[in-house]
Structure 1
């Protein structure tokens, strides 16, 4: 099992617009190729203007295959272009993690 933890920082005040853009253009493509995220969160305190989402994969190979299919999807390219045009994103950090032995099993949705 592999969990892809993605942390994005957006320009102050642009969180709602970024989420709207993602919900319209990005989420449908990701659900089609990867499935539902384990979670999708926004900061309520601490480092504000932060969005975190997590995706569960069976293995590194599963992640590689699903993400390659997503990258090849023309709708994903539209999302990326819209993201660039909007200019809301400042930073992205991706961390691949594995569950510890006493964690309940995670399931892809």
Structure 2
């Protein structure tokens, strides 16, 4: 398994607006295409105005196939347009991670 850690930094005081748009337009699509959401969070302390979500995949090929299918859906393009036009995000980052050996052994 791999985990895609996605980190979004919102413009100051725009987190609630971004989360609302995401819930309405992106969440249904991501649940449909990506499926395995491991967590979805907003920061309380530390670097504020940040949203973090984690998605689990069987492999990088699984991730690419799922994300490509989502990207082909016109509703996804509409969501991306709304985010861009709304100017809510200032930074997006993702990290592909895999379990460390000592942790992976626990999940077997």
Is the TM-score greater than 0.5? yes
Give the 5 Å matches for 1:1-109. Answer: 1-103=1-103, 104-105=106-107
Structure 2: segments with no counterpart, 5+ residues = none
- More helix per residue: 2
Displacement of 1:105 in angstroms is 2.9
Q: Would you say the 8 A contact 2:36–2:57 is kept in 1?
A: no
Moved over 3 A (4+): none
Instruction: List per-residue Cα deviations over 1:28-80 (Å, max 9, x = no partner).
Output: 11110011410001110010001100000000000010000000011101111
Instruction: List per-residue Cα deviations over 1:73-104 (Å, max 9, x = no partner).
Output: 11101111111111100001110000112324
**Structure-1 separation of matches of 2:82 and 2:25:** 8
TM-score by length of 2: 0.93
**Structure-1 separation of matches of 2:84 and 2:95:** 22
TM-score by length of 1: 0.93
**Structure-2 separation of matches of 1:60 and 1:67:** 10
